[in-house]
Amino acid sequence: MLFKDISPLLADADAFARVVAAMAALAEDVDLVAGVEARGFVVAAPAAHAAGRGFVALRKAGKLPGRTLRASYALEYATAELEVRPDVVPAGARVLLVDDVLATGGTLVAGASLLESCGAQVVRVAVLLEIAALGGRAQLAGREVHALLQA
Ligand X SMILES: O=P(O)(O)OC[C@H]1O[C@H](OP(=O)(O)OP(=O)(O)O)[C@H](O)[C@@H]1O
Residues acting as catalytic residues: 39, 76
Q: Which is nearer to ligand ADE, 118 or 125 (CB)?
A: 125
Please identify which residue in 21, 25, 75, 132 interacts with ligand X, judged by CB under 6 A: 75
Rounded Cα distance between 35 and 22, Å, is 15
Rounded Cα distance between 82 and 116, Å, is 14
Task: Sketch the per residue contact string, 71 through 100, with ligand ADE: x for CB under 6 A, - otherwise.
Answer: ----xx------------------------
Measuring CA to CA, how many Å separate 72 from each of 32, 33, 69, 136?
A: 23, 21, 11, 16
Q: Which is nearer to ligand ADE, 1 or 91 (CB)?
A: 1
- The DSSP 8-state label assigned to residue 91 in this structure reads T
Q: Which does 4 bind (CB under 5 to 8 A by kind): ligand ADE, ligand X, none?
A: ligand ADE
